[in-house]
């Protein structure tokens, strides 16, 4: 059993919702807490609705401040729909811990981390980051408090066995042909605003860290079978994650990329959760830094660009500062994207069948 804390930026991309479905329904996952690293109140309320639906309404939720009432609008492609506020509102009676409109009742994320870790057995917690790393950066810098006499880094070192990070590109986010940096969103955010936090965590996390780059999940397209689940399939038609995919993709009605949107979206975050819970035992990944070869990730604190440095190839300068204490690895798929999608889709269907409350408070017929 994996004791799990999820740190999510659920807001724009629907893969966060799929990741939460797995975190709440995988039988070998014990979800301890969920922290939200995006500041929209609808993000926290959507988490609450999803956790409640899958009978995890008791799991505490934290969110960064100051809160906003922002909702997602796809100004880049004009093809993706907003889902977080809809999930939060229409599943507001699912039994989650945050009543509709009261996101301010969520925990401060650092306080929730410190309380949860302090109460856990030593070396027993896995943290999976599927968004910005600001919450984790703040935890690293946190002072002793009533929850623990240890400062953040020492508390992490004592309690956390593994940090899994969905972020970066490997071996580099720089295009080798043009020399242009293309930072991953989770390390950069808008205009590099989250880059300092990413660089801080990657450089100073005291223990094992495994990275899943954007290339791992980009072509693993999941959610289609969940969207298309027929009556009698055992999947509630008004499952919050199923509805999130339908709202996000418009049911594939406005697909300019073949049938991609009908098949769902990239599986970045559910793959990260699946690895965090089952590691290589899930059969989908290879540890590129395995077989005794050491290396580490370096993140640019200005723009969030990243690169991998191999110890046996050198690197020099600041690349080696403190690296002897790092236990970094990055993953690649050892199966085809289609094979990985089949595994994740089956787990999403199984999870949706296993524990849903079937609650839906919205009016009208909506999307069926």
Least confident residue range of 38-52, 261-275, 286-300, 329-343: 286-300
pLDDT of amino acid 222 = 97
What pTM, to 2 d.p., does this model score? 0.94
pLDDT value at position 237? 87
Please tell me the predicted confidence (pLDDT) of residue 42. Answer: 98
Per-residue confidence band for 368, with pLDDT thresholds at 50, 70 and 90? very low
- Whether 360 shows a pLDDT value over 60: the answer reads no
Average pLDDT, the chain: 91
Is residue 167 packed enough to be buried (19+ CB in 10 Å), middle (13-18) or exposed (0-12)? buried
pLDDT of 231: 87
Confidence band of 365 (pLDDT split at 50, 70, 90): very low
> pLDDT over 70 for what percent of the chain?
90
CB of 283 closer than 8 Å to CB of 333: no
The whole-number average pLDDT for the span 166-187 is 95
In the block, which residue shows the tokens 């079978």? Answer: 225
C-alpha span between 98 and 89 (Å, rounded) = 11
Name the CA dihedral angle for 208, 214, 217, 218, rounded to a multiple of 10 degrees: 180
DSSP state of 81: -
Q: Which two tokens stand for residue 262?
A: 């009908």
* Portion of the chain with pLDDT greater than 90, in percent: 81
Could you give the 3-state DSSP secondary structure of residue 6?
strand
Q: What is the pLDDT of residue 38?
A: 98
pLDDT, tens digit, 9 for 90 and up, residues 32-50: 999 999 999 999 999 999 9
Confidence of residue 287 (pLDDT cuts 50, 70, 90): confident
H/E element holding 76? none
Helices 109-119 and 152-159 meet at what angle, rounded to 10?
Answer: 40
Buried b (16+ CB within 10 A) or exposed e, 73-89: eeeeeeebbbbbbbbbb
Per-residue pLDDT band for 187 (boundaries 50, 70, 90) equals very high
**Both tokens of residue 230?**
């027929």
């Amino acid at each position: 059993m994996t004791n799990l804390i999820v740190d999510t930026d659920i807001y724009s991309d629907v893969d966060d919702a799929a990741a939460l479905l797995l975190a709440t329904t995988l039988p070998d996952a014990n979800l301890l807490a969920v922290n939200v690293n995006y500041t929209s109140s609808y993000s926290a309320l959507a988490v609450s609705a999803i956790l409640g639906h899958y009978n995890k309404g008791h799991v505490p939720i934290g969110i960064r401040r100051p809160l906003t009432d922002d909702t997602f609008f796809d100004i880049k492609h004009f093809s993706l729909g907003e889902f977080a506020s809809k999930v939060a509102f229409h599943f507001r009676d699912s039994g989650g811990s945050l009543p509709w409109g009261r996101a301010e009742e969520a925990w401060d994320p650092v306080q929730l981390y410190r309380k949860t870790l302090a109460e856990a057995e030593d070396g027993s917690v896995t943290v999976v980051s599927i968004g910005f790393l600001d919450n984790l950066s703040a935890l690293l810098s946190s002072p002793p408090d009533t929850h623990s006499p240890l400062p953040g880094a020492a508390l992490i070192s004592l309690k956390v066995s593994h940090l899994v990070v969905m972020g970066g590109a490997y071996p580099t986010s720089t295009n080798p042909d043009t020399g242009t940096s293309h930072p991953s969103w989770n390390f950069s955010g808008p205009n590099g605003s989250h880059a300092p936090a990413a660089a801080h965590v990657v450089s100073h996390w005291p223990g094992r860290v495994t990275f899943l780059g954007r290339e791992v999940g980009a072509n693993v397209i999941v959610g289609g079978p969940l969207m298309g689940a027929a009556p009698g399939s055992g999947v509630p038609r008004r499952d919050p994650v199923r509805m999130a995919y339908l709202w996000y993709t418009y049911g594939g009605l406005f697909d300019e990329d073949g049938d991609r949107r009908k098949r769902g979206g990239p599986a970045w975050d559910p793959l990260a959760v699946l690895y965090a819970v089952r590691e290589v035992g899930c059969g989908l990944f290879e540890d590129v830094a395995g077989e005794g070869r050491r290396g580490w990730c370096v993140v640019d604190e200005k723009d969030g660009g990243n690169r991998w440095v191999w110890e046996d190839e050198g690197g020099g300068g600041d690349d080696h500062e403190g690296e002897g204490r790092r236990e970094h690895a990055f993953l690649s798929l050892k199966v085809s994207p289609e094979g990985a999608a089949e595994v994740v889709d089956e787990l999403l269907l199984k999870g949706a069948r296993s524990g849903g409350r079937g609650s839906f408070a919205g009016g009208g017929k909506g999307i069926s």
